[in-house]
Amino acid sequence: MRSGHSLAFQQFEEVLSQITIERISLEDSRVSDLLKDTNHIKGLPSCPFRMEWSAESDWEPGDSSQVSEGSCILVPIPSSAEEGLLLRSVGYAEREQAIAKYRFLCDGTFILTTRYGQSIAEERIWFVSEHVRCRSSVIKTSEGSGVLQTSFSSEVRRLSI
């Protein structure tokens, strides 16, 4: 369950999401393909995973065409315990393969910066309790000189068995 505020649209949004994250093998062909497409990256991949999501917003209730869904393969390539690269088969701000830089701050905040063809996205994720996290994002122009979109979400995890 996510509540968010979009400065671009100047309104709040309620979203119900179903997110599944599964660890996959380094030998998985989808991981091999992603690594092959980014063969200029140095470092050893670690703990790849697949993320799948489906989300419905209250901006268009009952409109099934407004359901956001998809999946992607993510492959971390750590350079230290606190930072590294994250290969993404599908990006967040633009629907293209991307290479992001990640780092963890000393308080556990996760920062992900992704350069796309037309924009730069910076996402910050932090947990305020075991089942509540906050997420902010800023999408800038590809030169970084202008802000295209900002958002803030507080998210509550509902565990299913």
Contact 53, 70 (CB under 8 A): yes
What pLDDT does 41 receive? Answer: 82
Burial 6-39 (b: 16+ CB within 10 A, else e): beeeeeeeebeeeeeeeeeeeeeebbeebbeeee
Block residue for tokens 């350079």? 79
Contact 76, 45 (CB under 8 A): yes
Instruction: Quick: pLDDT tens for 33-79.
Output: 999 888 778 889 999 999 998 888 776 655 555 557 889 999 999 99
Contact 51, 2 (CB under 8 A): no
pLDDT confidence band for 19 (50 / 70 / 90): confident
Q: Is the pLDDT of residue 85 over 70?
A: yes
pTM for this entry: 0.83
Block residue for tokens 């063809």? 117
Helix (H) or strand (E) holding 133: strand 132-141
Contact 125, 137 (CB under 8 A): no
pLDDT confidence band for 104 (50 / 70 / 90): very high
What pLDDT does 1 receive? Answer: 60
